[in-house]
Amino acid sequence: MLLIAMREIPTEMHFDPEVIQLRMGETGDSLNWSTIRLKYPLYGQRQVGLGRIIVSDRVDKRIGFFTYGAMIEAIHGHNEAVYALRSSAPILAIDPELQDFSAELAFETEVIVARSLAKWRGNESGFASRLSQLEPDRCYLAAIHCILGHYQRNRRLRDGFRLFYAALCKEVEQLAALGFWPGEMARLDDLLAPDHSAFA
Point out the least confidently predicted range of 28-37, 112-121, 138-147, 191-200: 191-200
pLDDT, tens only, 173-196:
999 999 999 878 899 999 999 985
pLDDT, mean over the chain: 90
Asked whether residue 198 carries a pLDDT value surpassing 50, the answer given is no
Q: Residue 36, class by beta-carbon neighbours within 10 Å (0-12 exposed, 13-18 middle, 19+ buried)?
A: buried
Q: What is the pLDDT of residues 129-142, one digit of tens each?
A: 899 889 999 999 99
Share of the chain above pLDDT 90, in %: 66
| Tens digits of residue pLDDT in 58-113 | 888 899 999 999 999 998 888 889 999 999 999 999 987 788 999 999 999 999 99
Task: Report how far residue 193's alpha carbon sits from residue 167's, in angstroms, rounded to the nearest whole number.
Answer: 27
Q: Where are the domains of the chain?
A: 2-94, 101-199
pLDDT at 28 over 70: no
More confident residue, 184 or 116: 116
pLDDT of residue 168: 97
Q: How high is the pLDDT of residue 134?
A: 92
Identify the residue with better confidence: 52 or 27.
52
- In order, the DSSP letters of 71-135 are EEEEEEETTEEEEEEE-SS--EEE-TT---HHHHHHHHHHHHHHHHHHTTTT-HHHHHHHHHHS-
